[in-house]
Structures are given as C-alpha cells and as structure tokens.
Amino acid sequence: MADRKIVRALKGETIFPPPLWMMRQAGRYLPEYRATRKKAGSFLDLCYNPDLATEVTMQPIRRFGFDAAILFSDILVIPHALGRDLDFVEGRGPVMTPIRGEEISRLDGRSFHDHLAPVYETVRRLRQELPSETTLIGFCGAPWTVATYMIAGHGTPDQAPARLFGYRHPEAMARLLQRLAELSAEYLLKQIEAGADAIQIFDSWSGVLDSGSFQKWCVKPVSGIVKRVREVHPEVPIIGFPRGAGAHYGHYREETGVTALGLDWSVPLAQARELQAEGAVQGNLDPMRLVAGGRALDEGVDAILAELSSGSLVFNLGHGITPDTPVEHVEAMVKRVRQGGR
C-alpha cells in the first residue's frame, strides 16, 4: 500500500496539515456531476453503472485532490438488493413501499451479491484509477438508518414511523436490524476484497433515539457489523458516523469498536478533543460555513485545526456537502486546510 495519509490518520497517527475529504464530495454542487447524472438517466442507473459511478467518484479527486475518494452509491442499495422497490423522486428523495412486519422474515438474500456486482466492479475500477496515495473508502448505511426508510417508505423529519414500529413490534424490529447487519457486513467485506482501504458506516438518524433505543437499534447492530468485518480484515479502519449522537459518542466508540468517530458539526470542539484522546476523529465543519464562505469558512476551519491538529484527525464536514455550495468555496477550504489555517 502506498502512503495513504487517511489510513494512517484513522489508525491513530497525527499528521499536520491533516488529510481531508468531504462527505457527498461527488454530487450536485459540481457541474461535471450534473452532466454525468443527466447522461445516466436515473440516480439508481448511475449507482449501478460502473463506468459512470467511477467517473463521478473520480471527479472531485481530479478537481480538488482530496486525500480520499468514497465510493459513489447509496445506502438503500441494500434493501433494493433484497427485492424491495426503490425510486428516487426529484425534490422528495427515496421512496419505497413500507415493509410490513410479516415481510421481514421473507427478505430474500439469494441474489444479494449478484444485484450488487456492479458496485463491486466500481470499487475495483476505482482502485485501479485512483492515484496510489489516495485512500478508497467503501461504505454502508447503518441498519437503524436503513430500517427507517424501509419502515416509513421515505424520509421523515424525526423518523417517528420507525420509532413507533420498534416500540410496538420490538421482536420484528430486532429481526430486521439483525438481517440488515448481517448483509451489511457481507457487503462491506466484498468492497474491501474489491479494493476499499477503509469503510464508513453512516447512521444518519441515530440522533433521534433515546438512550435505550440508541443502545438496541444503533449500537448493537453496528457492533455486529464491526465484529464480522474485523474477523476477516482486522487491519481495515472502520469509521462510525452516528450523526446527532451527542453525549453518546464516547459510548458508541467503546461499544461498537469502530476505529474512528465521524463527528457532526454540533459536537463542541472541547468534546471532540476528549473523544480524540481515545482514537481518531473525523469532521466536523458545519456545511453551512462552506456555503457561506469568506470569514465564516475561515473561522470554522481554523477553529478545528487549532483544537484537533495535535491528535489524529481527518478533516471533513460534519455532514454532507449541500448542492448550493459554490465550488470556489471548496477550493478555498482545501487551500486553507492544506496551509494549516490562518
């Protein structure tokens, strides 16, 4: 393996200036992405087309020289590979037929890897095309977050349908999360075998859970994924991103065993520094500072570097970049991080 700074940082090395990448760095803020997306026809067609998925993954690397590329795909390809219908509606996002409790035991994984073969092919091509020093990150959605969409059929402000389902049907929820955890682990293992250097588990909706539910629905299934991946590839760094976990972040790392913590922008830097004492952290610039640019962006970058550069850090946003972000602001952020701030 070449000198991949992000892998080194995730494993605990302090590097200054810190390596960086952005969540959703291949996306609608880039004109070249929009052109490729139009060519693909639909979002899912883009995800399942190795030629085009490779191209959009490479676009931000060519433009900005990020230290990592993250596979272009979607967290909901897992239920789609299990035979659940899935569509992405402009202005609304993913839409599925809500799953019923009795359907959980019938989730059929026999063609799971065949369905996802184009994703694995994209990973193989990316590892061949990326610069040798660029880390390739694979990913999956955490079982809880994926389940929220399967249960509600779409995104909701607080994922109340999934929470109610879990409270009313705890056994069914446990079965669903267990099934998703098993298949997510196998999905990640296939990505690693195809060339991924590190993996990230996105739990975008962990912040809506109370303490007991956080333990059962967030921590437990992710712990199972980490354990399974580590049995086969103990050397591969695993980033856990439980967005909105707040005071639960430290417990999450301890219980799940993830290598590094992805921090959302609401995490105070003093808390981030405490978490960093236990291992690498990733984040956590507010994406709105990137949209605003100028002084707001500079101050946000400088504060993170001042507080966290003495430990293992991967600089990133505290969530995904938004489509209205000016490209020149991303260029300014990269330059400021690479210069060490101020």
The tokens describing 205, both together, are 């909706």
Catalytic member of 4, 37, 125, 289: 37
What DSSP element (H or E) covers 55?
helix 50-64
Nearest residue to 280 (alpha-carbon basis) of 4, 1, 7: 7
Cα gap 218→204, rounded to integer Å: 10
User: To the nearest 5 percent, what fractions of the chain are helix, strand and coil?
Assistant: 55, 10, 35
DSSP string, 14-44: --SSPPB--TT-SSTTSHHHHHHHHHHSSHH
37 classed as catalytic? yes
d(CA 278, CA 289): 28
Which of 33, 48, 120, 149 is flagged as catalytic?
A: 149
Q: Of 74, 87, 298, 302, which is the active-site residue?
A: 74
Active site residue 74: yes
Tell me if 22 sits within 8 A of 330, measured CB to CB.
Answer: yes
Q: Which of 236, 294, 225, 291 is nearest to 22 (CA)?
A: 291
The one catalytic residue in 28, 124, 127, 273 is: 28
Nearest to 101 by CA among 52, 50, 164: 164
- 239, β-bridge pairs: 200, 260
Q: Which one is catalytic: 4, 8, 24, 179?
A: 24
- Has 167 been annotated as catalytic? no
Q: CA angle at residue 73 from 72 to 74, to 5 degrees?
A: 140
Angle between helices 143-152 and 170-194 (to 10 degrees): 120
63 in catalytic set: no
The secondary structure of residue 322, as a DSSP letter, is P
Q: Name residue 127's beta-bridge partners.
A: none
Does the annotation mark 8 as catalytic?
no
User: Could you list the active site residues?
Assistant: 24, 28, 37, 74, 149
